[in-house]
Structure 1
Amino acid sequence: MLPTRLFSRVAVSGCRRLLSGSSQLVQLREQSASDGVVSIELCRKPANAMNGELAAQFNKALLQAEKSGARAVLLRSQLAGIFSAGFELTELAGSNRERLIEFYTEIQELFLNLFGTDLVVIAQIQVRFVVIAQIQGHCMAGAMALSLSSDYRLMSSNPKLLTGLNETQFGVAPPVWLVELFRFVAGNRNCERLVAAGQLIGPQAALEAGLVDELFDNEAELLKKTESTLSRYLAVSPRARADVKRMLRSNLINRLDSARQEDMNAFCDYVLDSRVQAQLGQYLDKLKAKKA
């Protein structure tokens, strides 16, 4: 069992930073050097919307964590009440092909790296990872893929919080890799039922659909369940656990990786379609009206 001191450190905001910068959107923190636990924390105000820069910083943080010899990563938000609002719609609305390619390249890289992090580590530097998403706020759209790419998902039981892929609600079909991640975790029927309708669901429904593994009521319970989860994962042979993960994920990783350019072309063509641009513009106008 992991020592209790690890989780007292997890709760402390002053953990040692491994990344620094004046325009930091992602922070990598060392939670426990001796146990190899780090956290990757989203900190882009006001809602952790995922733009190209955030994705690039996330990739950098994940790579640094791998190189540091970490064994486990905790994914979390520093912003109260929200995990992430998902893709930054201003990256899509009014964009051009060059900007979309730059944005989407970082997004593709982020999720292939995160979903396949054990496979990469096994092949290159012999470090094994456990990825746990701590979902303390709304989790939807692109941010949902951070959760889906994780090994284990802990979500707040607050019934006001929502999760899912809601792209179809504002006229955009989710990328194929995002749908495949959803299906990988929640199965075909739940994927078709929820993603096609762009339905956002609460914590209990997400638990029943298999989108999350456990719910927590408060910070103390979150820390307790995080301890229990880490203990189970880190108690087994790192090589055996990573080998099983590779068996389960390698087919999807290889399929998505080989289709990157096709996916890029389809994404750009779709987003730049005049009808989609009009729908995105209307949706942004509605958001601006709500804020006014």
Structure 2
Amino acid sequence: MIDVSTHDGIHTLRLARPPANALDPALLRALIDAVEAAPRDGARGIVLAGGRGIFSAGLDVPHLLTLDRAGMHGAWSAFFGAARALARCPVPVVAAIGGHCPAGGCVLALCCDYRVMALADAGASPYRIGLNEVQVGVPVPDAVQHLMRRTVGPRQAEKLLVIGAMPDTGAALALGLVDEAVPMDEVEPRAQAWLQALSALPQHAVRATREVARADLVATMTDPVGTAVEPFVDVWFAEPTQAALQAMVARLRR
């Protein structure tokens, strides 16, 4: 479920669960293993990539709706485990976003150090990124809201989160939600180039500074069972949430 390639000390981890890289527990656990293995295998940086046209569609909601409470607890633990692995990775991680990046896909991208996102071809519908949970009837837990606040600031985060906004690539760049907006074929080369430039700096200084700068992110994702999983499982099984999710899945199947 994760394709791994290496070039000049940079490891590219590509989500490989077609058609949309929907995040189920198996994919999330494979991602945790790959992120943790890369530094042990000598990686100086990681590029996290998805598919062409879609980075990840987010959590696999149809699968999650088949799970009981214990299964949901395991699924959400795997999701926050993957986010935590990215947040505390000892080497920098760049999200190479080659398409749409909603919900859970956006969470993973927000846990990376840097985000490079594709611009759609002229005349094509723009690619979009964001936390659109509210639009499908799911409240956004505080641990996830923290990711958006630390990226775009509290006021902008509130405005985006309460309506489940999905800005296009250009708007996301203006907000600071992504760091670069480039044509599709330049997404992964730019991600590689940013990591190479970072690796040319004195690494003891980079590591120490990065550790301080990302301490809040690591702390937020370190205790997901207490801060996010248990409350979110309660909300997940609430009648209004289940009704909204079932309606969404019905629309997708049509």
For 1:268, the equivalent position in structure 2 comes to 233
Pairing 1:203–2:190 present = no
For 1:44, the equivalent position in structure 2 comes to 17
Amino acid at match of 1:99: G
- Higher radius of gyration, 1 or 2: 1
Mapping of residues 1-292 of structure 1, within 5 Å: 25-29=1-5, 31-32=6-7, 35-77=8-50, 79-118=51-90, 129-158=91-120, 160-219=126-185, 221-222=186-187, 225-258=190-223, 260-289=225-254
Say if 1:263 and 1:223 are closer, same or farther in 2 by CA, change over 3 A.
closer
Which has the larger displacement, 88-97 or 255-264?
255-264
Amino acid at match of 2:236: V
Considering only aligned residues, what root-mean-square deviation do their CA atoms show, in Å?
Answer: 1.6
Alpha-carbon distance in 1 for matches of 2:135, 2:56: 17
> Do 2:56 and 2:101's aligned partners in 1 also have CA atoms closer than 8 Å?
yes
Alpha-carbon distance in 1 for matches of 2:220, 2:58: 24
After TM superposition, the score normalised by the length of structure 2 is: 0.93
Of structures 1 and 2, the one with the larger relative CO (CA 8 A, separation 6+) is 2
Offset of residue 49 of structure 1: 0.5
Task: Give every structure 1 segment of 4 or more consecutive aligned residues whose post-TM-superposition deviation is greater than 4 Å.
Answer: none
Alpha-carbon distance in 1 for matches of 2:214, 2:39: 19
After TM superposition, the score normalised by the length of structure 1 is: 0.81
Percent of aligned pairs sharing the same letter: 29
For 1:21, the equivalent position in structure 2 comes to none
Alpha-carbon distance in 2 for matches of 1:96, 1:131: 34
Offset of residue 63 of structure 1: 1.5
SS of the residue corresponding to residue 196 of structure 1 reads helix
Say if 1:215 and 1:263 are closer, same or farther in 2 by CA, change over 3 A.
same
Offset of residue 279 of structure 1: 1.0
Alpha-carbon distance in 2 for matches of 1:272, 1:255: 24
Alpha-carbon distance in 2 for matches of 1:100, 1:141: 17
Alpha-carbon distance in 2 for matches of 1:264, 1:226: 32
Aligned residue pairs, count: 250
Offset of residue 189 of structure 1: 1.5
Alpha-carbon distance in 2 for matches of 1:259, 1:55: 15
> Do 1:42 and 1:76's aligned partners in 2 also have CA atoms closer than 8 Å?
yes
Unaligned runs of 5+ residues in structure 1 are 1-24, 119-128
> Do 2:32 and 2:82's aligned partners in 1 also have CA atoms closer than 8 Å?
yes
